[in-house]
Structure 1
Amino acid sequence: MKAGRLGTILMAAAIMCSACTRSSDSENQVKTADSKPAAARAYTVLAEHLKIPWSIQFDGDTIYVSEREGHIVQISGDSVTRQKVQLKKPVKHQGEGGFLGLQLSPDFAKTKQAYAYHTYEEGGKAYNRVIMLQKKNGGWEEVKAYLEGIPGAYTHNGGRLAIGPDQMLYVTTGDSGNDMLAQDMKSTAGKILRMTLDGKVPADNPFPGSYVYTYGHRNPQGIVWDKQGRMYNTEHGPSGDPGGHDEINLIEKGKNYGWPLIIGSAKKESMVSPLYHTGNTAIAPSGMTVDADGQLLFATLRGQKLYKYNPAANQLTTKLEGEGRLRDVKLHNGDVYVITNNTDGRGSPGASDDRLLLLKP
């Protein structure tokens, strides 16, 4: 039998087996690719045995991946090194909290500095903070805290960091399970925050003296800009009944995105409805990137797929599936990189999980 025919049969068998074993709770519907022959895979594995990876960053051909327990993994060719992160306030790793977003500074090659977002505990309560790190002596050390006291919880911590085309640092925060905080302008929960690269409130932020850029968010976990400078985010919708209603939003300065007062296609004066929502289906979208055609790629946890979203057609297509939970995706030099998240406590990890994948063209 020819190798191509054998690969096709094995892939079909794996898919049929996965379909037979899936439960009604899609949080636990995980299929790994360990049994697939290499020729049948849609990717190359660049690193494996990662521990709840969360964010992908690039310095040339060197890749850095944050891990929720409190490490940064450096991947350079065949070398994979787990590096310690020394913080002034220890990481509180519980539920969805921990060491989350990572963003290298624009001058990282010179300064070796980066921004990070992590959960910590104070007075018996969970909070999140934005800090600057310095890479030195084979590890990382905290240099300065930029913002602390962001409400945290077992779930809904947000955590994505990104530098916009305006050279400002953007931060997504969750509602920490207290949904009305998303509407409270005195709280940093349930927001997208914007700050200068040295941690100050920009003079042109929409609310004077405030880091708040937009509000009314439940648990935003992806942000990206296209070539025209338009900003998009991914966001988790409600749990329970109704559930689903995960969102893709066009983000505009100072706007209210409605949570918890509106979901899905509902409309309310002075509130923005999403470009796209999933109806009653939950996919739990996370990290996102944008391709040269302005289409959005985003990873999903519960949905266990990498999707491409076409804003012009308002349409989703599947680019990768069958690898379990996916946390982040990045486009670098025309190549697509994805991290799985099967070790996060809600998946069924395979023997080599979690993994950093380079998708084949």
Structure 2
Amino acid sequence: MEKLLTLSIATFLLTAGCAENVQPTFSKSSEQTQPQQSASSVESLDILAENLNVPWSIVKQGETFYLTERSGSIAKVVNGKVERQRVILEKEVSTASEAGLLGFVLAPDFSTSNMAYAYYTYEDSEGQFNRIVTLQLANNVWQEKALLLDRIPSGTYHHGGRLKIGPDGKLYATAGDASQREIAQNLQSLGGKILRMNLDGSIPDDNPFPNSYVYSYGHRNPQGITWSPDGTMYASEHGNSRNDEVNIIDAGQNYGWPFIEGKEQREGLLAPLFTSGNQHTWAPSGIAYANNKLYVAALRGNAVLEFDVAANTYRELVTDLGRIRDVFIEDGYLYFISNNLDGRGTGQQNDDKLYRLPLVNE
């Protein structure tokens, strides 16, 4: 088995600048149910942007990145230069814990329409909620144009927030249980669910529950969704302190929260593909798929995790960079963002950052 490189980056981070080459730390695989996989030998990662303001989602169009920042702005990154774009919303962005401007995805026709979709938390006289809206970019300012879905439950914690357009052309959103665990099992509530809608905000005719946005339920706080080339859908989900999960998502299925978590099983409830178990925590957020592997951003785990779906194993691919919020893969590169300034991490010099790492196809 090829040895895994273990290279400290601590001294490099003290002097690294935008697009400067640094050396990541690679850790040994953690066994799931099979022997350890062979380790990739990846030599370097680049810092593409620094001094970000708690970024949450990564979107890339050509050579341009758009990163949502929880405070309510979008950081446009081109050739290492960060330009903070203003976002005009109908509701004021909430500053509650874990809340803010979260999920973001460009419309399929963005190059001509300048349209995108966003998920954000707000407060008004009736309470705190999440909503999904369209945004349009003009004169370097994003402005809310249409409301697609409102009153997604919010609370002290667990807002969900990830947006993705699936291979079927539908818009998917993750919604947390808003710290009200019972709503995850209530099909009349949007909380604790993965939601699915047409791009105009209407309910698809083939959703599993009639006249409902609910695609799957029994979720605690899912924060990542992705698909493999064969259409299999995966989601990452925060467990209750531990027992974090990576699930295969099937339409209409119940993923068990709060009745089961981690390795627990019960008839009619789906157990995860991977779990951190009751001894460890990942706090998984964004997730991406490439070459039969899943790459997951881990917050409390302080790592990018690599899951080998075929071998049923996982390992910490990158460590020593602190809390990781989102991942994105394109053309053989893994991009990811740190979240050390979100109030729960320890900031490193010039945090938060956007990184790029070449992936090795074994």
Normalised to the residue count of structure 1, the TM-score between the two structures is 0.89
Q: CA deviation at 1:60?
A: 1.1
The answer to which of 156-165 and 275-284 deviates more is 275-284
Asked if 2 retains the 8 angstrom alpha-carbon contact of 1:170 and 1:195, the reply is: yes
Asked if 2 retains the 8 angstrom alpha-carbon contact of 1:63 and 1:74, the reply is: yes
Is 1:147 matched up with 2:149?
yes
Asked if 2 retains the 8 angstrom alpha-carbon contact of 1:221 and 1:235, the reply is: yes
Residue from 120, 123, 133 that aligns with 1:118: 120
In structure 2, the CA distance between the partners of 1:212 and 1:39, relative to structure 1 (3 Å rule), is: closer
Q: Aligned partner of 1:250: which letter?
A: I
Q: Aligned partner of 1:285: which letter?
A: P
Q: CA deviation at 1:324?
A: 0.2
In structure 2, the CA distance between the partners of 1:354 and 1:269, relative to structure 1 (3 Å rule), is: same
Match of 2:8 in 1: 11
Give the 3-state SS of the residue equivalent to 1:267 in structure 2. Answer: coil
Match of 1:59 in 2: 61
Residue from 337, 340, 343 that aligns with 2:341: 343
| Structure 2, unpaired ranges of 5+ | 25-43
Asked if 1 retains the 8 angstrom alpha-carbon contact of 2:234 and 2:249, the reply is: yes
Q: CA deviation at 1:44?
A: 0.9
Q: Aligned partner of 1:329: which letter?
A: V
Map 1:1-361 to 2 at 5 A: 11=8, 14=10, 33-34=13-14, 38=21, 40-41=23-24, 42-123=44-125, 125-239=127-241, 244-280=242-278, 281-291=280-290, 293-361=291-359
Instruction: Give identity over the alignment, percent.
Output: 45
In the alignment, the residues of structure 1 paired with residue 259 and residue 7 of structure 2 have an alpha-carbon distance, to the nearest angstrom, of 48
Q: Deviations over 1:226-254 (max 9, x none)?
A: 01100000000013xxxx10001000000
Q: Aligned partner of 1:59: which letter?
A: Q
In the alignment, the residues of structure 2 paired with residue 141 and residue 325 of structure 1 have an alpha-carbon distance, to the nearest angstrom, of 30
Match of 2:32 in 1: none
In the alignment, the residues of structure 1 paired with residue 84 and residue 15 of structure 2 have an alpha-carbon distance, to the nearest angstrom, of 26
| Structure 1, unpaired ranges of 5+ | 1-7, 16-31
In structure 2, the CA distance between the partners of 1:284 and 1:119, relative to structure 1 (3 Å rule), is: same
In structure 2, the CA distance between the partners of 1:253 and 1:188, relative to structure 1 (3 Å rule), is: same
In structure 2, the CA distance between the partners of 1:9 and 1:236, relative to structure 1 (3 Å rule), is: closer
Q: CA deviation at 1:154?
A: 2.5
Q: Deviations over 1:67-95 (max 9, x none)?
A: 00000011111332000100011101221
Q: Deviations over 1:257-289 (max 9, x none)?
A: 000011112122211111111112111000010
In the alignment, the residues of structure 2 paired with residue 43 and residue 352 of structure 1 have an alpha-carbon distance, to the nearest angstrom, of 16
Q: CA deviation at 1:35?
A: 5.7
In the alignment, the residues of structure 1 paired with residue 51 and residue 213 of structure 2 have an alpha-carbon distance, to the nearest angstrom, of 37
Which structure features the higher share of helix residues?
1
Q: Deviations over 1:298-318 (max 9, x none)?
A: 110000010110122211022
Asked if 2 retains the 8 angstrom alpha-carbon contact of 1:53 and 1:68, the reply is: yes
Q: Aligned partner of 1:278: which letter?
A: S
Q: Aligned partner of 2:272: which letter?
A: P
Q: Aligned partner of 2:78: which letter?
A: S
Give the 3-state SS of the residue equivalent to 1:110 in structure 2. Answer: helix
Q: Aligned partner of 1:70: which letter?
A: G
Q: CA deviation at 1:123?
A: 2.1
In structure 2, the CA distance between the partners of 1:313 and 1:10, relative to structure 1 (3 Å rule), is: closer
Q: Deviations over 1:119-168 (max 9, x none)?
A: 00122521000000000111100000100001102310000000000000
The answer to which of 314-323 and 164-173 deviates more is 314-323
In the alignment, the residues of structure 2 paired with residue 321 and residue 78 of structure 1 have an alpha-carbon distance, to the nearest angstrom, of 22
In the alignment, the residues of structure 1 paired with residue 266 and residue 168 of structure 2 have an alpha-carbon distance, to the nearest angstrom, of 30
Give the 3-state SS of the residue equivalent to 2:8 in structure 1. Answer: helix
Asked if 2 retains the 8 angstrom alpha-carbon contact of 1:44 and 1:360, the reply is: no
Asked if 1 retains the 8 angstrom alpha-carbon contact of 2:22 and 2:46, the reply is: no
Asked if 2 retains the 8 angstrom alpha-carbon contact of 1:97 and 1:153, the reply is: no
Count of residues in Structure 1 that have an aligned counterpart in Structure 2:
332
In the alignment, the residues of structure 1 paired with residue 156 and residue 84 of structure 2 have an alpha-carbon distance, to the nearest angstrom, of 25
In the alignment, the residues of structure 2 paired with residue 315 and residue 305 of structure 1 have an alpha-carbon distance, to the nearest angstrom, of 16
In structure 2, the CA distance between the partners of 1:230 and 1:355, relative to structure 1 (3 Å rule), is: same
- Give RMSD over aligned pairs: 1.8
Give the 3-state SS of the residue equivalent to 1:306 in structure 2. Answer: strand
In structure 2, the CA distance between the partners of 1:9 and 1:317, relative to structure 1 (3 Å rule), is: closer
Give the 3-state SS of the residue equivalent to 2:239 in structure 1. Answer: coil
Asked if 2 retains the 8 angstrom alpha-carbon contact of 1:93 and 1:99, the reply is: no
In the alignment, the residues of structure 2 paired with residue 38 and residue 162 of structure 1 have an alpha-carbon distance, to the nearest angstrom, of 30
Q: CA deviation at 1:10?
A: 8.7
Q: Aligned partner of 2:295: which letter?
A: L
Q: CA deviation at 1:210?
A: 0.3
In structure 2, the CA distance between the partners of 1:343 and 1:316, relative to structure 1 (3 Å rule), is: same
In the alignment, the residues of structure 1 paired with residue 167 and residue 58 of structure 2 have an alpha-carbon distance, to the nearest angstrom, of 19
